[in-house]
Amino acid sequence: MKTLASLLGALTIAAMIAGCGPDMQKINAAGDKAEADATKAEASAAEAEKSAGQADTAAKQAEDAASGAEDAVRRANDAVSRLEAYFSTSVTK
């Protein structure tokens, strides 16, 4: 956003100079370039925001999967404990 503000500031200065300067074509070209750069910066910022949203979604899915894995391990450990208890009581009888 700072880059965008800087580019818009440069565009404003270029427009002010355009009214006073003799090389109108060069100034206009610089203004057009600044405007194009600002547009590219804005598109890049939007793409970065989209990518951040996708990364956030992936992180949430990974967290859910990890939680599911923890539950599976807990259930497996419970089953093993029940089996051990069964064998332990059947051996002592």
As a whole number of angstroms, the distance between CA 93 and CA 33 comes to 90
Instruction: Enter the tokens of residue 35.
Output: 């405007």
Neighbour-count burial for 10-39, b at 16+ CB within 10 Å, e otherwise: bbeebeeebeeeeeeeebeebbeebeebbe
Which pTM was predicted? 0.49
Please say whether the beta carbons of 3 and 41 come within 8 A. yes
* pLDDT score recorded for residue 52: 96
Q: What is the pLDDT of residues 4-53, one digit of tens each?
A: 677 677 777 776 765 665 677 787 888 999 999 999 999 999 999 999 99
Residue 93 banded pLDDT, cuts 50, 70, 90: low
Indicate the domain borders of the chain.
2-92
